[in-house]
Amino acid sequence: MAKVKQNKTNIVQTPVNNTPDSGNWKIWIPVVAAALMYLIALSYPLLGLDDHQATVENKAVTEFSPFTNFNLGMYAPLTWAAYAIPYNLMPKDAFWGYHLLGFIVHLLNTWLVARLLLRLGVRESMRFPIALLFAIHPIQAEAVAWVAGFSTPFYVLFCLLGLLYYLKYQAAVDQTRWQWYALALIMMLLGNLAKSAAVVLPLLMVIIDWWLPSRLDLKKRIAGYAPFFLMALGFGLLTIYSRNASGTAVGSDANGFSGLERLLLVSYAPVFYLTKIILPFKLNIYYSFDRVNGSLPWVYWVAPLVIAALSYMAWHYRKTIPGIYIGLAFFMANIFFTLPFVTLGTFELCADHYNYLACVGVFFAIGSVLAYWSDLYPDKTALMRNVLIGWTIMVAVLGVRQVGMWKDTITVVSNAIDNGYYHKGMMYFGRGVEYGDLSKPQLAMQDFTKALELDPNMRDAYKFRGSLYAQAGQIDLAVKDIQKYLTYDSTDVVSWNNMAQIYMRQNKLQQSLEAFNKTIELKPGAIVSYQNRAKIHEMMGNQAAAAADLQRAKELSAGRNK
């Protein structure tokens, strides 16, 4: 039999560069869907997972000095400035103001994604489902419902605007083209000031030019890319500096992974993300790269083969289904700088919010394959449409559920623990701190104990558990934990003061005196330490020393009242 020739699937219509699509009411459905899904998140509190450090405990916000401060290992002055709006204009307990930032920006991004697809000429049957999936997919919940994740949708806002302005620059034939180019460059700058992940913008520009015919020759395109890539390089170096300045581990050998293991990690991460986008089950605040019995599990070794297979498929179908290689290229470009080539944090991790814009590429690739099959097998179109509708409904249900996971710290962390991600006890420690803040000391002590079972060197767990033991009257256990903690940090004034107080309660006066001496040595201006040491001197019969300490406390108090 003669081989049937397979024609190229037309997934692109005539690109639209100037005509607005406000008359197409369908563009608003994804926006409304996103609003309905995330409306409940406006009532959520700040979480004990970077939210306070990013907002109410961030000097860049509280002192409104966004351009002169690093925070959480980041330089993101526009994000800090955005946080300053609810901080200064709303009541201090109006946390919905911080959530409103991510809520509004996600709605804008949903609309911009639909506009970008229109400008790129993506056929109408694909634009709506892609924009809808971007709006409601559960992998987006981390970026939208988590206050500390706001920097991700914020930088994406500028990237989408930058791409739209770049397309206008490409289409213009008069002098106005340079105003569009300048606006695209400004969006690049603003995006990086929101989060340095915006360095991805020039890669996305290259992909667009690679896909759609450009009226500019190669030399002019390269010249146009140059300022964007130079800016990306500058912000990339600034990110490395800010991470180092925050004391985080940076480097290819950090965390003890070998060169081969690094290759496996870099291959595993995109495969893991693709799996979570297609089957978004068991999404978490945290995923770790963990060895089992000293080596990485088999899925890591299979990952390079999966990457190779996907690459071959994209190349093989590059003419008949070009949406595969374009979609996968868009996906990989967006996650490329987050891949674990080197360590840029205190531990290795994957994160849902890295896929906030990248998922659009996956949806486009899937849509292109379905469009190809629909053209090739028109009698199966209804079946494929029903499968897509069923999958979308599943995604929507899981999306609502995932938004609910962000209602409080306990729920978020417990979800990660239940799914097997606790990073040597880190998640147990975080939940223990939250239980302590909620006045649930027994649950807190249980989690601190579990954290120490998994990582006996988690020093802060000793500190917090020791404090809880002391409050519960379990003095011997409290002393043991605080002493252990002080072997890690011998300059912690609070812990020395706690030890002194415990020794005082045990009537171990000499040990209490020595602990108060250390407290005063570390913090000479601590009035209460002089007052407490005076009590110890008095109990030991040293009235002169007691009087001297009380006099010193009086002098310090008078100095503060001036």
What local confidence, expressed as pLDDT, does residue 344 receive? 57
Establish if 345 belongs to a structural domain.
yes
What local confidence, expressed as pLDDT, does residue 78 receive? 94
Question: What's the token pair of residue 485?
Answer: 């903690």
User: Looking at per-residue confidence, does 192 or 562 come out higher?
Assistant: 192
CATH of the domain at 519: 1.25.40.10
Same domain flag for 34 and 130: yes
> Mean pLDDT in the chain?
87
Same domain flag for 164 and 309: yes
Establish if 140 belongs to a structural domain.
yes
Establish if 276 belongs to a structural domain.
yes
Establish if 470 belongs to a structural domain.
no
φ/ψ (deg, to 5) at 361: -65, -40
Question: What's the token pair of residue 250?
Answer: 């940076």
Burial 439-463 (b: 16+ CB within 10 A, else e): eebeebbbbbebbbebbeebbbbbb
Mean pLDDT of 177-202: 94
Mean pLDDT of 517-541: 87
Lowest mean pLDDT among 79-83, 128-132, 178-182, 506-510: 506-510
User: Looking at per-residue confidence, does 53 or 346 come out higher?
Assistant: 53
What local confidence, expressed as pLDDT, does residue 247 receive? 57
- 506 falls in which pLDDT band (50, 70, 90)? confident
Report whether pLDDT(185) > 50.
Answer: yes
- 552 falls in which pLDDT band (50, 70, 90)? confident
What local confidence, expressed as pLDDT, does residue 221 receive? 84
Lowest mean pLDDT among 121-130, 237-246, 316-325: 237-246
If DSSP codes are grouped into helix, strand and coil, which group holds residue 538?
helix
Report whether pLDDT(276) > 90.
Answer: yes
Same domain flag for 168 and 289: yes
Same domain flag for 515 and 390: no
User: Looking at per-residue confidence, does 346 or 351 come out higher?
Assistant: 351
DSSP-assigned letters across all residues of 165-226: HHHHHHH--STTHHHHHHHHHHHHHHHHHH-GGGGGHHHHHHHHHHHS--SS-HHHHHHHHH
Establish if 424 belongs to a structural domain.
no
What local confidence, expressed as pLDDT, does residue 347 receive? 55
What local confidence, expressed as pLDDT, does residue 16 receive? 53
Give the rounded percent of residues in the chain with a pLDDT score beyond 90. Answer: 48
User: Looking at per-residue confidence, does 151 or 219 come out higher?
Assistant: 151
- Return the closest-CA partner of residue 348 out of 333, 338, 357: 338
Same domain flag for 257 and 363: yes
**Counted domains in the chain:** 2
Residue that finishes a domain, picked among 375, 395, 410: 410
Lowest mean pLDDT among 19-28, 51-60, 96-105, 179-188: 19-28
Establish if 117 belongs to a structural domain.
yes
Contact 83/95 with Cβ under 8 angstroms? no
- 5 falls in which pLDDT band (50, 70, 90)? very low
What local confidence, expressed as pLDDT, does residue 444 receive? 93
> For the segment 390-432, what is each residue's pLDDT rounded down to a tens digit?
999 999 999 999 999 999 999 999 999 998 887 778 889 989 9
Report whether pLDDT(183) > 80.
Answer: yes
Same domain flag for 363 and 497: no
Establish if 513 belongs to a structural domain.
yes
Establish if 481 belongs to a structural domain.
no
Same domain flag for 494 and 383: no
- To the nearest 10 degrees (0 to 180), the angle between helices 201-211 and 177-194 is 140
Contact 526/520 with Cβ under 8 angstroms? yes
Residue that finishes a domain, picked among 360, 383, 410: 410
**Residue 401 is part of which domain span?**
25-410
What local confidence, expressed as pLDDT, does residue 176 receive? 80
Lowest mean pLDDT among 65-74, 279-288, 296-305: 65-74
Same domain flag for 204 and 314: yes
Report whether pLDDT(548) > 50.
Answer: yes
Same domain flag for 394 and 499: no
For residue 29, the tally of other CB atoms under 10 A from its CB is 15
Same domain flag for 398 and 495: no
Give the rounded percent of residues in the chain with a pLDDT score beyond 70. Answer: 92
Report whether pLDDT(8) > 70.
Answer: no
Pairwise CA distance, residues 108 & 189, whole Å:
19
Same domain flag for 494 and 406: no
- Return the closest-CA partner of residue 560 out of 534, 513, 528: 528
Same domain flag for 234 and 145: yes
Residue that finishes a domain, picked among 376, 410, 444: 410
